[in-house]
């Protein structure tokens, strides 16, 4: 949590003025029992109505000044807390964006969403409360005890006993609840994950009629979270009754000892009332402090979780001195040299001993069964993951020697899952190239076989796309994501099974349009269909992470049993 305090650096003035005005409010509040004592001992005892009105006016003035100080303190505290959380959330989002696929896979999307939303909100609330109450409550407690000693040292002994006991209760309960709040936040992550999976896969759940099973899964996670929150809530709930018990016992002592002193003439009635008021102030402030500690405990637990994300460093970093581009580009644009790759947390390699070379401007088909490593292979080219052993070369340079910006500028990727963002078609296409002109956008749409979709809409390029492309079919989403990559005019274009929702005629027209791209764009086509890659310059056949075959369609039909099996199942004689 200490590492997060740097986000208050831009709000040093607010962080000082907020507590300062709270201390001013507390100072005026400490004078109230003394004014009440004077009103009772002089005004009421002497029947002096004018003095009562005078003291009443002072009480009102103290209240107004305290209100102004409180509002001012709240303004500065809120400004600092909101600014703190905004800066924290911004940097947390930037850091998450810098993490590689490996770290994001390990942390999980659900926990990252929880930490960016719920956890940051808890931290913001904790910062706000600390700035307002962290100094005020101890100041009132200490000030009330000092004022009590100036009135009656004997009666004030109750303060000496009660305050340490109350502190012991408060901090003891805090020590018990901190790990429980951390556990509750982890269980909230699990509930978020289950909810996210169900909302994302709602069609699959209904298609297999698994609603009841998924409900039970959610109810089980929710019950676990509820049980933890109820348990920690019960412990936290002990604060109020125990503190009330101790404080009321102290008040009884004050009334008993103060009554005897009043009877003996050593103490006035107003002084006894002032002592009771001071003890009541301590009660209120300690309850506030207890609630503050509960909130701060939650904030600290959330702060540790957020700090854990910041402490997670990306394994993919750009070198300080990126390798310079060679003056004479080699004929081979991509080369894999004895590449081994495994996902983090797994023992078995997803790719083993992969070696091949691709010439500039060549079309490469990649085919294999489900889980054979096709997507893993193409994800190594833009360095979404790092190899475990071996090298991946682009333009003759190891991808680890490129800056990430330079490498990914060369590559256009159309992922398996077609992802579009809320906005217009034009805005989505400009993701590929912000400076692209309208003719360039239309050319990319034509090559992606998406012009019929654009022409059928009166808004054309300004057709609105809902979040995730919900208002489009699967084929329309795929064609638009292909167009987005083509707008970039990349040197290497990777189509990761991105035409699976297209019919055979559209798929054939798309492949023909890609072959007609001007320049030397190298195309990698990952597909489950043999017909989609049969005309490629070379075809890679993967089988359980191993390169089972390499060659043209005709060569593989003669020499590769895996490819023969795929073709027999899909193609006619």
Digit-coded pLDDT (tens) for 250-306: 878 877 877 777 777 777 788 888 888 887 787 778 777 777 877 887 788 888 888
Q: Is 538 helix (H, G, I), strand (E, B) or coil?
A: strand
CATH code of the domain in which 92 resides? 1.20.1560.10
Query: Which stretches does DSSP call E strand in 291-345?
Result: 332-341
Q: Are residues 248 and 368 in the same domain?
A: no
User: What stretch of H or E contains 387?
Assistant: none
Q: Are residues 158 and 226 in the same domain?
A: yes
Q: Is 318 helix (H, G, I), strand (E, B) or coil?
A: coil
Q: Are residues 225 and 363 in the same domain?
A: no
Write the burial class of residue 437 (CB in 10 Å: 0-12 exposed, 13-18 middle, 19+ buried). exposed
Q: What is residue 196's predicted lDDT score, i.e. its pLDDT?
A: 81
What tens digit of pLDDT does each residue of 145-195 get?
A: 888 787 777 777 777 887 788 778 877 877 788 788 778 878 887 888 888
Q: Is residue 470 part of a domain?
A: no
Please report, rounded to a whole number, the percentage of residues in the chain having pLDDT higher than 70: 98
Q: What is residue 336's predicted lDDT score, i.e. its pLDDT?
A: 93
Question: Total structural domains in the chain?
Answer: 2
What tens digit of pLDDT does each residue of 61-70 get?
A: 988 998 999 8
Q: Are residues 128 and 59 in the same domain?
A: yes
Q: Are residues 398 and 352 in the same domain?
A: yes
> Using CA atoms, how far apart are residues 38 and 152, in angstroms rounded to an integer?
15
Please report, rounded to a whole number, the percentage of residues in the chain having pLDDT higher than 90: 13
φ and ψ at residue 543, rounded to 5 degrees: -140, 105
Highest-pLDDT range among 174-183, 201-210, 320-329: 201-210
Q: Is residue 96 part of a domain?
A: yes
Q: What is residue 377's predicted lDDT score, i.e. its pLDDT?
A: 92
Q: Is residue 262 part of a domain?
A: yes
The confidence band for 518, taking pLDDT boundaries of 50, 70 and 90, is low
CATH code of the domain in which 534 resides? 3.40.50.300
Write the burial class of residue 443 (CB in 10 Å: 0-12 exposed, 13-18 middle, 19+ buried). middle
Write the burial class of residue 286 (CB in 10 Å: 0-12 exposed, 13-18 middle, 19+ buried). buried
Q: Is residue 117 part of a domain?
A: yes
Domain boundary among 247, 281, 311: 311
Write the burial class of residue 75 (CB in 10 Å: 0-12 exposed, 13-18 middle, 19+ buried). middle
> Using CA atoms, how far apart are residues 510 and 347, in angstroms rounded to an integer?
39
Q: Are residues 235 and 354 in the same domain?
A: no
- Helix then strand then coil, % of the chain, to nearest 5: 65, 10, 25
The confidence band for 420, taking pLDDT boundaries of 50, 70 and 90, is confident
The confidence band for 460, taking pLDDT boundaries of 50, 70 and 90, is confident
Q: What is residue 80's predicted lDDT score, i.e. its pLDDT?
A: 92
Q: Is residue 317 part of a domain?
A: no
Strand pairing of 411-414 and 492-496? parallel
CA dihedral of residues 370, 376, 381, 384 (deg, nearest 10): 140
Alpha carbon 201 to its chain's center: 22
Q: Are residues 155 and 281 in the same domain?
A: yes
Mean pLDDT, range 29-33, rounded to an integer: 83
Whether the per-residue pLDDT at 223 is higher than 90: the answer is yes
Residue with tokens 């969403």: 113
Whether the per-residue pLDDT at 322 is higher than 70: the answer is no
Write the burial class of residue 449 (CB in 10 Å: 0-12 exposed, 13-18 middle, 19+ buried). buried
Q: Is residue 362 part of a domain?
A: yes
Q: Are residues 86 and 162 in the same domain?
A: yes
Q: Is 145 helix (H, G, I), strand (E, B) or coil?
A: helix
Decide: 361 and 491 in contact? Cβ < 8 Å.
no
Q: What is residue 275's predicted lDDT score, i.e. its pLDDT?
A: 80
Q: Are residues 484 and 540 in the same domain?
A: yes
Angle formed by the axes of helices 504-515 and 474-487, nearest 10°: 0
pLDDT, the chain, mean = 84
Q: Are residues 217 and 264 in the same domain?
A: yes
> Using CA atoms, how far apart are residues 307 and 297, in angstroms rounded to an integer?
15
Domain that holds residue 253: 2-311
Q: Are residues 64 and 28 in the same domain?
A: yes
* Segment among 236-245, 324-333, 432-441, 464-473 with least mean pLDDT: 324-333
Strand pairing of 423-424 and 464-465? antiparallel
Q: Is 382 helix (H, G, I), strand (E, B) or coil?
A: coil
Q: Are residues 54 and 168 in the same domain?
A: yes
* Segment among 262-271, 340-349, 546-555 with least mean pLDDT: 262-271
Residue whose C-alpha is closest to residue 144's, from 27, 55, 250: 27
CA–CA distance from 460 to each of 420, 445, 452, 454 (Å)?
A: 17, 11, 10, 5
Q: Is residue 438 part of a domain?
A: no
Neighbours of 433 (CB within 10 A): 18
Whether the per-residue pLDDT at 340 is higher than 90: the answer is yes
> Using CA atoms, how far apart are residues 78 and 84, in angstroms rounded to an integer?
10
Q: Is 357 helix (H, G, I), strand (E, B) or coil?
A: strand
Q: Is residue 462 part of a domain?
A: no
Q: What is residue 448's predicted lDDT score, i.e. its pLDDT?
A: 86
> Using CA atoms, how far apart are residues 368 and 355, in angstroms rounded to an integer?
16
């Amino acid at each position: 949590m200490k590492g997060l305090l740097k986000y208050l650096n831009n709000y040093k003035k607010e962080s000082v003025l907020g507590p300062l005005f709270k201390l001013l409010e507390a100072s005026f509040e400490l004078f109230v029992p003394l004014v009440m004592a004077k009103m009772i001992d002089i005004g009421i005892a002497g029947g002096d109505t004018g003095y009562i009105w005078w003291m009443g006016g002072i009480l009102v003035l103290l209240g107004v000044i305290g209100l102004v100080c409180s509002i001012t303190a709240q303004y500065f505290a809120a400004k600092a807390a909101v600014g703190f959380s905004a800066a924290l959330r911004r940097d947390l989002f930037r850091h998450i964006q810098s993490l590689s696929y490996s770290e994001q896979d390990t942390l999980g999307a659900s926990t990252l969403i929880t930490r960016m939303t719920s956890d940051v909100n808890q931290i913001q609330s904790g910062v706000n409360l600390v700035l307002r109450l962290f100094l005020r409550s101890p100041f009132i407690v200490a000030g009330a005890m000092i004022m009590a000693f100036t009135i009656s040292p004997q009666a004030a002994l109750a303060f000496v006993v009660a305050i340490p006991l109350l502190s012991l209760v408060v901090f003891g309960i805090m020590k018990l609840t901190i790990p429980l709040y951390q556990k509750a936040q982890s269980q909230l992550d699990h509930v978020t994950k289950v909810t996210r999976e169900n909302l994302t896969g709602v069609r699959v759940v209904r298609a297999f009629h698994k609603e009841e099973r998924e409900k039970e899964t959610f109810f089980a996670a929710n019950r676990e979270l509820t049980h933890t929150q109820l348990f920690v809530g019960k412990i936290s709930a002990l604060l109020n009754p125990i503190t009330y018990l101790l404080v009321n016992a102290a008040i009884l002592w004050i009334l008993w000892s103060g009554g005897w002193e009043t009877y003996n003439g050593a103490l006035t009635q107003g002084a006894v009332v002032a002592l009771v008021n001071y003890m009541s102030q301590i009660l209120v402030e300690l309850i506030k402090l207890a609630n503050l500690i509960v909130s701060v405990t939650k904030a600290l637990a959330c702060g540790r979780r957020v700090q854990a994300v910041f402490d997670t460093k990306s394994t993919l970093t750009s070198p300080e001195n990126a390798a310079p581009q060679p003056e004479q580009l080699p004929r081979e644009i991509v080369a894999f040299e004895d590449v081994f790759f495994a996902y983090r947390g797994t023992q078995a390699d997803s790719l083993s001993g992969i070696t091949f070379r691709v010439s500039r401007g060549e079309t490469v088909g990649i085919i294999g069964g489900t889980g054979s490593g096709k997507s893993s292979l193409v994800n190594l080219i833009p360095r979404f993951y790092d190899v475990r052993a071996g090298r991946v070369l682009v333009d003759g340079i190891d991808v680890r020697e490129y800056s990430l910006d330079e490498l990914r500028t060369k590559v256009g990727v159309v992922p398996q899952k077609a992802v579009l963002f809320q906005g217009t078609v034009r805005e989505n296409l400009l993701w590929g190239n912000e400076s692209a002109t309208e003719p360039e956008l239309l050319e990319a749409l034509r090559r992606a076989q998406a012009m019929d979709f654009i022409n059928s809409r009166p808004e054309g390029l300004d057709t609105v796309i809902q979040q995730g492309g919900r208002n489009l079919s699967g084929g329309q989403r795929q064609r638009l994501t292909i167009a987005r990559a083509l707008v970039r005019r990349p040197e290497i274009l990777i189509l990761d099974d991105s035409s699976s929702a297209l019919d055979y005629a559209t798929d054939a027209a798309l492949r023909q349009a890609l072959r007609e791209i001007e320049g030397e764009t190298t195309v990698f086509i990952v597909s489950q269909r043999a017909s989609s890659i049969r005309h490629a310059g070379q075809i890679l056949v993967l089988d359980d992470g191993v390169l089972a075959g390499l060659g043209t369609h005709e060569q593989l039909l003669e020499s590769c049993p895996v490819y023969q099996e795929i073709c027999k199942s899909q193609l006619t004689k």
